[in-house]
């Protein structure tokens, strides 16, 4: 267990500022001796295709460092990731994606305090809320508009950044104690492992059109045009490291898909198309993508996985979703931790997925399967205020 600092208790000394290889090597040497460390990142993604990592905060039982990835290559941290030490994070999914790109690997084990909080009946709290509840510390609120790429960082910025990891190990200890008492520690650790294993590779550019609003309503050649033009936009944005909206706005993209322009004049008439997109090096690429899309054979379309159910099961799914929500409340679990709509859809459509294995199977997966196969029924109890699933006695 780690020391449990409180608002009135001892605080660490000022964090180290690390911006040279020698200083980074010294931090790594210390991290290689610990079983657990806390990590957080600061990044910006408003003007680049991939988020720009601007600061890396790491705390361990006897130290805290702020590492400047703009000044020093942080890939040597991969040696720490390769150990069995647990990385403690809070809402770390995006941190994992950024670390995968910046360092080329991920830690073998993580403990996400936001995920763990959901198994303690605490919902999906912010780090500020969790620090108050678990270690009775009031963390400073940061400025959402802070530009973490500017140097030097002020003392206030450094203190705020350090606060994101300073108490994280103690928070993790507090959550583990609660989870151990409730018998749910293995559940939370399993969920953290599952999140860590998520596919973080760059999506196929041909799937970019799935993000277009109303893409499921597109028909005929419009689907091919959407696939090819959206893929062109994605690849151009990646090559120039700019957001896709800086290449072609969503409004202009929708117009191109709807009108399938064949000439530069056709393109110019579409709302949202400006002079940049009519240049000799851009317009032919857009028109070429439109032409390829219009000629695309149906079997070359990359379609989004269906997320709907057999329509005959629609009423049953609606009722089951309501029971799942009630079940989460009964178990004092965050509803999204117990099961998502996608989890339910996958179970209904395929009989597989997260609800068909692990701890979820016995709690909700098997009862739902029994219901779908006529071995159980749902009924109203408590004056119609509560759903109850029980064996079918017919």
**3-state SS string for 32-78:** CCCCEEEEEEEEECCCCCCCEEEEEEEEECCEEEEECCCCCCCHHHH
The C-alpha atoms of residue 117 and residue 375 are separated, in whole angstroms, by 34
**Residue entry with tokens 């103690």:** 170
* DSSP string over 139-195: PPPP-TT--TTSSSPPHHHHHHHHHHHHTHHHHHHHHHHHHHHHT-HHHHHHHHHHH
The C-alpha atoms of residue 310 and residue 298 are separated, in whole angstroms, by 23
pTM of the model: 0.87
Q: If DSSP states are collapsed to H, E and C, what string results for 282-325?
A: CHHHHHHHHHHHHCCCHHHCCCCCCCCCCHHHHHHHHHHHHHHH
Q: Give the distance between the most distant pair of CA atoms in the chain.
A: 74
Contact 361, 329 (CB under 8 A): no
The C-alpha atoms of residue 101 and residue 200 are separated, in whole angstroms, by 9
Q: Find the helix or strand (DSSP H, E) in which 112 lies.
A: strand 109-112
The C-alpha atoms of residue 50 and residue 56 are separated, in whole angstroms, by 16
HSE of 17, CA atoms in CB hemisphere, 13 A: 10
Contact 18, 72 (CB under 8 A): yes
Mind listing the pLDDT tens digit of every residue in the chain (394 residues)? 565 444 433 445 689 999 999 999 999 999 999 999 999 999 998 899 999 999 999 999 999 999 999 999 999 999 999 999 999 999 999 999 999 999 999 999 999 999 999 999 999 999 999 999 999 999 988 776 789 999 999 999 999 999 999 999 999 999 999 999 999 999 999 999 999 998 888 899 999 999 999 999 999 999 999 999 999 999 999 999 999 999 999 999 999 999 999 999 999 999 999 999 999 999 999 999 999 999 999 999 999 876 455 566 677 788 888 999 999 999 999 888 899 888 998 898 888 999 999 999 999 999 999 988 888 888 888 776 677 888 765 5
The C-alpha atoms of residue 269 and residue 265 are separated, in whole angstroms, by 6
Say whether the peptide bond before residue 344 is cis (omega within 30 degrees of 0). no
Of 54, 99, 58, residue with least CA distance to 72? 54
């Amino acid at each position: 267990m780690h020391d449990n600092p409180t608002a009135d208790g001892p605080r660490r000394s000022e964090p180290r500022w690390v911006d040279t290889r020698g200083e980074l090597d010294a931090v790594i040497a210390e991290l290689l001796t610990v079983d657990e460390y806390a990590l957080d990142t600061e990044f910006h993604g408003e003007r680049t295709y991939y988020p720009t990592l601007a600061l890396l905060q790491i705390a361990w039982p006897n130290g805290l460092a702020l590492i400047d990835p703009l000044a020093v290559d942080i890939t040597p941290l991969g040696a720490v990731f390769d150990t069995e030490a647990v990385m403690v994070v809070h809402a770390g999914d995006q941190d994992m994606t950024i670390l995968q790109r910046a360092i080329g690997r991920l830690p073998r084990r993580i403990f996400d305090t936001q995920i763990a909080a959901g198994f303690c009946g605490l919902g999906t709290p912010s780090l500020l809320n969790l620090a108050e509840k678990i270690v009775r510390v009031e963390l400073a609120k940061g400025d959402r508009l802070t530009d973490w790429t500017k140097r030097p960082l002020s003392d206030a910025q450094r203190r705020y950044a350090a606060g994101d990891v300073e108490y994280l190990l103690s928070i993790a200890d507090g959550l583990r104690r609660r989870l151990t008492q409730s018998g749910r520690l293995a559940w939370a650790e399993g969920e953290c492992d599952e999140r860590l294993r998520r596919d973080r590779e760059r999506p196929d550019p041909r799937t970019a059109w799935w993000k277009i609003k109303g893409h499921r309503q597109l028909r005929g050649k419009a689907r091919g045009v959407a696939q090819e033009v959206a893929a062109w936009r994605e690849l151009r944005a990646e090559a120039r490291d700019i957001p896709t909206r800086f290449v072609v706005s969503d409004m202009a993209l929708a117009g191109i898909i709807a009108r399938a322009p064949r000439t530069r004049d056709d393109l110019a008439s579409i709302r949202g198309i400006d002079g940049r997109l009519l240049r000799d090096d851009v317009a032919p690429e857009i028109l070429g993508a439109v032409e390829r899309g219009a000629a695309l054979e149906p079997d070359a379309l990359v379609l989004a996985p269906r997320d709907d159910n057999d329509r005959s099961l629609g009423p049953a799914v609606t009722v089951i979703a309501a029971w799942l929500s009630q079940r989460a409340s009964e178990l004092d679990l965050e509803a999204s931790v117990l099961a998502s709509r996608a989890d339910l859809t996958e179970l209904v459509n395929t009989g597989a997925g997260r609800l068909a294995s692990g701890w979820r199977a016995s709690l909700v997966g098997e009862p739902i399967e029994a219901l779908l196969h006529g071995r159980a029924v749902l009924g109203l109890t408590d004056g119609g205020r509560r759903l109850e699933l029980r064996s079918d006695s017919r």
